[in-house]
Structure formats: structure tokens, C-alpha cells
């Protein structure tokens, strides 16, 4: 049996992760393009992005339970190709209903591709490190994407964003068509031991607690990051300064994954998650309450950093406590499930309470996340030695 820790596989996984997570870096530009270019209200713009994320959640939720039973060889290529067509159609489209349908189609296609990608990352020898490498690739992609996208949109028109999305998805489809591993390569040894039952067991309670924590953190991430550009513009700062902040966000986010690799054996994943949730609340209040450009920029720059760093640790932990790959294959549903309501809820809160309502909601959700992770920590205590042995095995 061949393993999947090869250079070609890692290239496919990095490219698939970067394309599939494009919403994380493009949310402010995406919402801003819909508001400025198409004159949609904040709630309408947030609702369109939420529709895309709902499509990702639905597709990933359907595919993840089947991940350990079927071949994923052609799934990412087909998914990204479909997403490319949907985004290209948005470039030509008009009308809210048409936009809604095409956003949903794009989300379904991306969800299928990303679920196969993340499930395969979970089957590598060291999922924490592989996910971190994919995140590093995503960080590099983010810098390039933001730098060129803001310039292209400024020089042309907001709808150019969708053509850029289509090109990114087409490239991801081509790379995965050539390099994504076969189903035989996507079998992790300890998930397929001799005598193992054919039917995978149900998730343990600790898995659900980790899922709940990630859902909440991703909700906070998307709700705040969706309105970074709008908060900056409404704060009276020049568009050039706001765009520079978005570029700085991408550069600072580059540091999160290398630091996650560096501290892999030094930090407890659950503690990282709890600290991340606390920081999300603090940064949100800094983002919405700042009266200076420096304060706004400092808060905005570290919101994605905290999420990426925490997510890497929790992803690695989840792959150890649920070794069949189903939980991490559902990572897109977890990530986008938390993020799906963020833009919509954020838009409604902004219209009713102003930007301060976003920070208040973030504080409430962060409290719930910390509670869920505390319960998870208690359930992990009896198996700490076993988990440590598993980490040592994965790092061998």
C-alpha cells in the first residue's frame, strides 16, 4: 500500500486548500464589491456570501460521512471546475436571484472539492504539520491574491472579482486533475488496521465539542472579517489606507502556520483554542471601537492570524481523536458552517446596532467556545498519554 506523503500530493493539497479557502481572504473584498459595485444593502451582500458558504457546508456534510468508503481521486478536480464555471457566470450575470443561485452552485462545488482535500490531509502521517504547510501555501496565495485583486478592481470594476475567482478555481482544477492521489494512497494505516469494523463508529462526545468550538470561532472570524473593509471606509480613512491594511492582513497571516509548526509539541491544542476565542473578542472590540487608523489596522491584521493559528492545532487534535478521516473531511462544513451565518448576522447587526453589535455578539460566542473547549479538555484527560504516543508516532 502506497502512502500519500509525496511531493506531488502535497502540491495538490496545498493548491486545493488555498483555492477552497478563498473566502477567508476575500470576504472584505467580496462584500465590498457587492455593496459598492452592485448597490446591495449590507444584509443582502452578506446574504449572498452566506449562500455560498451554505453550499460549502451542505456539500461537505454530505461527502464527509462517505470519505472513508469511496475514491476521492477525481472529486477535487471536478469540484473546482464546477466552481470556476459558476464564478465565470457571475461575471456576466445580473439580478439578485441569479446571483443567489450561482453563489449556491459555486459553494456546492467548492465544498465537495475542499472536503476531499481536507479529508486527505487528515490521512497523512502528520495532519497538524500537513495542514500547517497547506496554510503556509494559502498565506502566500493570500498575499498575491489581495495585492493584485485590489489593484485590478480599482482599475476596472467590482465584477472583475468573479472573473478572478473563476481563474483561481480553474487552476486548482487543473493541478488536482494531474496530482491528486488515488484512493489507495488515501488510506491511513491506523484507520485501516486488520480486523477493524467495516462500519465506522459514531463520533465521540469530545469530537462534537471540538466541532462546536471550531464552529463558533469561524463564526466570529467571518462576522468580523466580512466588515473590515466597510468599517475602515465608514471610519473615514482613505481607500488606499484600507487596501494597505488588507494587504498587511495577508502578510501577517503568513506567520501563523510556521509558528503553529514551531510550537506543535509545546502548546496544548485546547489551550490554544481557548486563548484564540478570547483574543477574537478582544480584537473585535478593537476593530469596531478604534478611533485611529493605527488601532483599526492592528486589530484587523491579527483577526485572521488568530483563527489560522488556532485552527491548525484543533485540526491536528481532531484528526487524532477521530482517525477515520470523517471529522477532518467535514472540516469545510465546520469552517464554513460557522462562517456561513457570519456575514448575514453581521450585516443585520450592523443595520440594527451599528458595528458595536458585531463585537457584542463576538464576546457571547467566544464565551460559548471557551466553555465547549473546557468540556473537551476534561474528556481528553484520561487519554492524554495515549494521545501523546499518537503524536510521537505521527512525528516519527
| Alpha helices per DSSP H over 202-330 | 205-225, 228-234, 239-253, 256-262, 269-289, 293-321, 326-329
Q: 193 or 273: which carries more pLDDT confidence? A: 273
User: Treating both helix axes as pointing N-terminal to C-terminal, what angle do 331-353 and 356-380 enclose, rounded to 10 degrees?
Assistant: 150
Across 109-129, average pLDDT = 90
Q: Is the pLDDT of residue 322 over 90?
A: no
Q: What percent of the chain has pLDDT over 70?
A: 90
Please state, in angstroms and rounded to a whole number, the distance separating the CA atoms of residues 57 and 63: 10
Please state, in angstroms and rounded to a whole number, the distance separating the CA atoms of residues 375 and 151: 46
Please state, in angstroms and rounded to a whole number, the distance separating the CA atoms of residues 273 and 313: 8
* Residue range 100-112, pLDDT digits in tens: 999 999 999 999 9
The per-residue pLDDT for 110 is 95
Q: Is the pLDDT of residue 185 over 70?
A: no
The per-residue pLDDT for 1 is 33
* Residue pair 28/347 in contact by the 8 Å Cβ criterion: no
Please state, in angstroms and rounded to a whole number, the distance separating the CA atoms of residues 126 and 341: 31
The per-residue pLDDT for 384 is 46
CB within 8 Å of 175: residues ≥ 6 apart:
11, 12, 15, 16
> If residue 76 lies in a helix (H) or strand (E), which one and from where to where?
helix 75-92
The per-residue pLDDT for 176 is 94
Instruction: Please count the other Cβ atoms lying within 10 Å of the Cβ belonging to residue 301.
Output: 21
Q: Hunting for cell 465506522 — which residue is that?
A: 200
Q: Which CATH class is domain 7-187+201-395?
A: mainly alpha
* Residue range 148-181, pLDDT digits in tens: 898 898 888 888 999 999 999 999 999 999 999 8
Q: Is the pLDDT of residue 390 over 70?
A: no
* Residue pair 114/169 in contact by the 8 Å Cβ criterion: no
Q: How confident is the model at residue 252 (pLDDT cuts 50, 70, 90)?
A: confident
Nearest to 228 by CA among 253, 255, 265, 191: 253
b (16+ CB within 10 A) / e for 219-239 = bbbbbbbbbbbbbbbebebee
The per-residue pLDDT for 158 is 84
Q: What phi and psi values does residue 381 have, to the nearest 5 degrees?
A: -55, -45
Across 244-259, average pLDDT = 85
Question: Where do the domains of the chain lie?
Answer: 7-187+201-395
CB within 8 Å of 26: residues ≥ 6 apart:
145, 146, 149, 161, 165
* Residue range 209-249, pLDDT digits in tens: 999 999 999 999 988 987 888 888 888 888 888 888 888 88
* Residue range 358-388, pLDDT digits in tens: 999 999 999 999 999 999 988 886 544 444 4
Please state, in angstroms and rounded to a whole number, the distance separating the CA atoms of residues 221 and 297: 16
Q: Is the pLDDT of residue 28 over 90?
A: no
Instruction: Please count the other Cβ atoms lying within 10 Å of the Cβ belonging to residue 151.
Output: 12
Q: How far is CA 390 from the centre of its chain?
A: 26
The per-residue pLDDT for 313 is 93
| CA-CA-CA-CA dihedral for 51, 52, 53, 57, to nearest 10 | 90
The per-residue pLDDT for 253 is 82
The per-residue pLDDT for 165 is 96
Please state, in angstroms and rounded to a whole number, the distance separating the CA atoms of residues 268 and 134: 21
Please state, in angstroms and rounded to a whole number, the distance separating the CA atoms of residues 222 and 161: 19
* Residue range 17-27, pLDDT digits in tens: 999 999 877 87
Q: Is the pLDDT of residue 194 over 50?
A: no
* Residue pair 343/31 in contact by the 8 Å Cβ criterion: yes
Rounded to two decimals, the pTM is 0.77
Across 109-126, average pLDDT = 90
CB within 8 Å of 113: residues ≥ 6 apart:
16, 19, 20, 75, 76, 77, 78, 79, 80, 83, 172, 176
Please state, in angstroms and rounded to a whole number, the distance separating the CA atoms of residues 163 and 153: 11
Mean pLDDT score of the chain, rounded to an integer? 85
* HEC readout, 373-389: HHHHHHHHHHHHHHHHH
Q: How far apart are the first and last CA of the chain?
A: 19
Amino acid at each position: 500500500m502506497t502512502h500519500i506523503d509525496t511531493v506531488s500530493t502535497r502540491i495538490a493539497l496545498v493548491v486545493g486548500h488555498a483555492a477552497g479557502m478563498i473566502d477567508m481572504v476575500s470576504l472584505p473584498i467580496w462584500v465590498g464589491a457587492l455593496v459598492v459595485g452592485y448597490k446591495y444593502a449590507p444584509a443582502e451582500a452578506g446574504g449572498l456570501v452566506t449562500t455560498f458558504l451554505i453550499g460549502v457546508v451542505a456539500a461537505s456534510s454530505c461527502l464527509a460521512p462517505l470519505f472513508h468508503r469511496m475514491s476521492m481521486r477525481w472529486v477535487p478536480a471536478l469540484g473546482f471546475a464546477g466552481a470556476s464555471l459558476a464564478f465565470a457566470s457571475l461575471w456576466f450575470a445580473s439580478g439578485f436571484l441569479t446571483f443567489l443561485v450561482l453563489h449556491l452552485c459555486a459553494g456546492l462545488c467548492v465544498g465537495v472539492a475542499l472536503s476531499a482535500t481536507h479529508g486527505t490531509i487528515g490521512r497523512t502521517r502528520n495532519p497538524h504539520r500537513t495542514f500547517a504547510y497547506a496554510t503556509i501555501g494559502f498565506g502566500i496565495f493570500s498575499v498575491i491574491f489581495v495585492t493584485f485583486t485590489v489593484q485590478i478592481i480599482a482599475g476596472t470594476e467590482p465584477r472583475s472579482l468573479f472573473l478572478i475567482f473563476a481563474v483561481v478555481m480553474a487552476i486548482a482544477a487543473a493541478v488536482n486533475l494531474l496530482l491528486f492521489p488515488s484512493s489507495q494512497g488515501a488510506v491511513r494505516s491506523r484507520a485501516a488496521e486488520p480486523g477493524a469494523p467495516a462500519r465506522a463508529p459514531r463520533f465521540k462526545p469530545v469530537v462534537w465539542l471540538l466541532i462546536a468550538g471550531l464552529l463558533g470561532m469561524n463564526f466570529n472570524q467571518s462576522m468580523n472579517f466580512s466588515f473590515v473593509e466597510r468599517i475602515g471606509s465608514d471610519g473615514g480613512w482613505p481607500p488606499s489606507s484600507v487596501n494597505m491594511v488588507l494587504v498587511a492582513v495577508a502578510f501577517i497571516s503568513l506567520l501563523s502556520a510556521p509558528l503553529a509548526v514551531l510550537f506543535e509539541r509545546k502548546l496544548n491544542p485546547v489551550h490554544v483554542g481557548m486563548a484564540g476565542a478570547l483574543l477574537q473578542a478582544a480584537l473585535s472590540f478593537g476593530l469596531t471601537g478604534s478611533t485611529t487608523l493605527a488601532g483599526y489596522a492592528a486589530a484587523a491584521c491579527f483577526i485572521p492570524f488568530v483563527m489560522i493559528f488556532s485552527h491548525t492545532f484543533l485540526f491536528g487534535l481532531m484528526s487524532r481523536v477521530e482517525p477515520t478521516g470523517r471529522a477532518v473531511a467535514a472540516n469545510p462544513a465546520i469552517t464554513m458552517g460557522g462562517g456561513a451565518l457570519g456575514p448575514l448576522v453581521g450585516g443585520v447587526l450592523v443595520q440594527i446596532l451599528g458595528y458595536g453589535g458585531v463585537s457584542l455578539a463576538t464576546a457571547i460566542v467566544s464565551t460559548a467556545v471557551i466553555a465547549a473547549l473546557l468540556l473537551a479538555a476534561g474528556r481528553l484527560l484520561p487519554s492524554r498519554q495515549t494521545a501523546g504516543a499518537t503524536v510521537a508516532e505521527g512525528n516519527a
